[in-house]
Structure 1
Amino acid sequence: MKTPAAAPFPYAEFDGHPATEDDLRTAVFFNYGHFTAMQVRAGRVRGLGLHLDRLDSANRALFELPLAGERVRELIRHALGSAGSVDASVRVHGFLPPGDSATTVMVTVRGPARMPTDPKSMMSVPYARTLPHLKRPGEFGQTYYAHLASRAGFDDAALTLPDGSVTEGSFTNIGFWDGDSVVWPQAPALRGITMALLEQEFPGAGIRSRHRPVTLDGLGSYRSAFVTNSQGIAPVRRIDEAAFTVDEELMKRLDAAYERAPWDTI
């Protein structure tokens, strides 16, 4: 008897069934919703509770409805099983199409990914996201400025407020090293899961961290910088003309702190 072939990537399920054309129309034409992105290895993910809390909190904020964590876990497990994958990039989206009274959950499965660790260059851009604490699909501004930075020869964009305050990258959090502590910008931004896990693990790794305003004209006070997202951590070599030292020892310490975070079974 032949083993069934794994579903092709990218694979998508809506509420536990393979995506139909009608389902995909929901995602394409009605993208008012929220999501979280995670890297799954051997059926496990770091910070699963943080992902589930993010989804539930965003669902309540947007739709005034809870989103049960156990239901989300079951849907992720089902999608991974259907895709025939235990190592994957997974996204969980919540939608509430017009006329519906329950949240539709879309789970997408792609191949596993990891952020390239080559030092990044970032171009500052004047952009602040609406409700930045919510992770939402279809963020035109972030995508536009990321492409604008790429066309200018940079790897990414650094989002800034009108007063020059740095908030985050186009799809990353930004951290700075002043020689003593990791400094996260004290500004409206999404609190990424990797960032949250680092903050959780820093005390045990002997790393101090704090939040304070970071401005473009004050970048010279920092020795090093780095970015984080669901795919990992990478150093930053410059923002505009402000250059940073690529501190290999610091990056090892950050990686070690992240590796301390436990894996949770989905």
Structure 2
Amino acid sequence: MTYIEINGSPATADTLRLPALTSYGHFTAMQIRDGRVRGLDLHLDQLRSATRELFDGDLDEERVRADVRHALDAVDARDASLRVYVYWPEDDERATLMVTVRPPQTMPVGPKSVMSVPFVRELPHIKHLGGFGQNHYLTAAHRAGHDEALLTDSQGVVAEGAITNIAFWDGESVIWPDAPSLRGITMALLEPRLPSTRRHVTLADLSSYRSAFLTNSQGFAPVRRIDEVEYTVDEELMGRVSAAYEAVVWDTI
């Protein structure tokens, strides 16, 4: 079950009309544990910057935090998978905030199989709504027996996963693709805590890397293959990733 509040009140048929009929907006997704979240400042910065770019308006940080706390308290949830959506109807003086609360989630266990697809998101630096293309290709990947789709441009340049960021390991550095993409919160938390670098990555380069892993709001997971390229799960690397992730301080909302 998903619990929904809009502007701090339980959703109604009337207030749900806006999110039901528009795809112009943005959101952030977070995992709540004991009323806390990793990277709260990063989530708030993501919401503020996207609101400024899409709507030319400011978003009140304390209002976001208050709405999140209210929704969690309404269902007595200390642990949850939570999203904050931002819309801004014309002629309204402030943004409309929708908070959804679901049971907590973690990245499904096991190394992932990934299928490359010829698609890149529009305005990829924004976690925006209306992602028909990425949903289409993610569905196609699932139907073909894969766990995730890898978005690439017409030249085979790797950007990101459909719902993840991807990183590669060359034995010394974690390589994050240097291409237009969303800098997801988990990626933003791990990048400075690991020996990281940005690099132009193409499909032709995939076999040159020793291993790879995916990140998103649910956590991280190793990659076992991309298309026909097989990877060995580097347990030492994944231990370092896990240690870096676990070292992140949880922020009280």
**Equivalent in the alignment of 1:5:** none
Aligned pair partner of 2:233 in 243, 246, 257: 246
Instruction: Please list every run of 5 or more consecutive structure 2 residues that lacks an aligned counterpart in the other structure.
Output: none
What is the correspondence of 1:123-134 to structure 2 with a 5 Å cutoff?
A: 123-134=115-126
- State how far apart, in whole Å, the 2-side matches of 1:165 and 1:90 are: 32
- Larger deviation, residues 174-183 vs 243-252: 243-252
8 Å CA contact retained: 1:30, 1:97 = no
Question: Are positions 1:165 and 2:152 aligned together?
Answer: no
User: Where has structure 1 moved over 2 Å in runs of 4 or more?
Assistant: none
Q: Which letter does structure 2 place at the counterpart of 1:260?
A: A
Kindly state the Cα deviation for residue 153 of structure 1 after the two structures are TM-superposed.
1.4
Matched-pair identity in %: 60
8 Å CA contact retained: 1:199, 1:209 = yes
- State how far apart, in whole Å, the 1-side matches of 2:201 and 2:183 are: 16
**Equivalent in the alignment of 1:185:** 177
What is the correspondence of 1:1-266 to structure 2 with a 5 Å cutoff?
A: 9-202=1-194, 208-266=195-253
Matched residue count: 253
- State how far apart, in whole Å, the 1-side matches of 2:143 and 2:90 are: 38
**What RMSD in Å do the two structures reach over aligned CA positions?**
0.8
**Equivalent in the alignment of 1:3:** none
**Equivalent in the alignment of 1:6:** none
Kindly state the Cα deviation for residue 137 of structure 1 after the two structures are TM-superposed.
2.0
Structure 1 counterpart SS, 2:127: coil
Deviations 1:2-31 (A, max 9, x none): xxxxxxx31011110000111111111012
TM-score normalised to the size of structure 2?
Answer: 0.98
8 Å CA contact retained: 1:117, 1:233 = no
8 Å CA contact retained: 1:36, 1:54 = yes
8 Å CA contact retained: 1:201, 1:261 = no
Kindly state the Cα deviation for residue 247 of structure 1 after the two structures are TM-superposed.
1.1
